[in-house]
Amino acid sequence: MARRRGLRRLAVLLLTLALAAGGIYTAAYFVQRSETLVSERCTATAGDRTGELAPDQAANAALITAAAVRRGLPARAATIALATAMQESKLRNIGHGDQAGPDSRGLFQQRPSQGWGTEAQIMDPYYAVNAFYDALVKIPGYETLDITDAAQQVQRSAYPKAYAQHEEMGRAFASGLTGQTPAGVQCTLRSPTAGGNSATVVTDLDQAYGGVDAQVDGDTLVVDAGGALGWSVAAWAVANAKDLAVTRVEVAGRTWDRPGGDGWQAAGVQDGQVRITVRKDDAGT
């Protein structure tokens, strides 16, 4: 009888362990399955204006806007640049042109034959963005011109009215990425599949903004920046989160966490610093 009771207990234990293992497997499968169903996108909201971009487009939008911040240009300049690049290349650094400009290249489809630079220069996004701004700031009163007029005077496009369709997106992202609208930019992303590198974030951030005071603390980068600049850096980090394996951004009482896709949440983070955390690589470094 005692032996029979012992066998029953063993059977119950084995069944419990099997169910637990099955539950863990089911939960893991559900999480993995849920990750594949995540629609990756970045959104911007500024007042009643909204815009949505794919993560690679948002990263280019952040680069374009950071260049304006670095040069001390108004958010309007970034709006014009974003609307122009969206029309010309869908905010992607493409290496081909079209029938209107077979030698057009890059974010702004600039043409070597029209004096924009060499093909290699134009395909460098940093060069292309600054070349656009160099031309834009020479236009008297560009800040008050309609986007179509300002963009057309720079681009000399065969379709000058087409820029207007991207104005709402341009204004929403320019406002968020310049820090004029705090927490205005957020991205919904899957979990990173590989580790990131804080030093790489420092390099990219310095190239974008120039002279940023940043220190690496393990897998977290601490940037001394507050106010609009702090929010601009934070939005830049969120927009680049996919490529740089960023998992968390903290600034001025708010936190963006990559898992969950819940946007900016309240947190006990003081203004004056931006903390950017990346996923550790497999070696734990």
**pTM confidence score:** 0.85
Q: CA-to-CA distance for 272 and 183, rounded, in angstroms?
A: 15
Cα 194 to Cα 275: distance, rounded to the nearest angstrom: 20
Amino acid (1-letter code) at residue 251: V
Give mean pLDDT in consecutive 10-residue pieces for the chain, a chain of 285 residues: 52 49 43 64 96 98 98 97 96 79 88 93 97 97 94 83 93 98 97 92 94 90 96 98 97 92 88 94 55
In contact, 189 and 38? CB cutoff 8 Å: yes
Q: What's the sign of the alpha-carbon dihedral 51, 56, 57, 58?
A: positive
Residue spans of alpha helices (H) in the chain = 2-37, 55-71, 75-89, 119-122, 125-136, 147-155, 167-177, 198-209, 227-239, 241-244
The answer to whether 255 and 249 have CB atoms below 8 angstroms apart is: yes
Q: Is beta strand 246-251 parallel, antiparallel or unpaired with respect to 214-217?
A: unpaired
Report the C-alpha gap between 229 and 192 in whole angstroms.
27
β-bridge partners, 264? 256
Report the candidate in 210, 266, 208 with the shortest Cα–Cα distance to residue 237.
208
- CA-based max dimension of the chain: 99
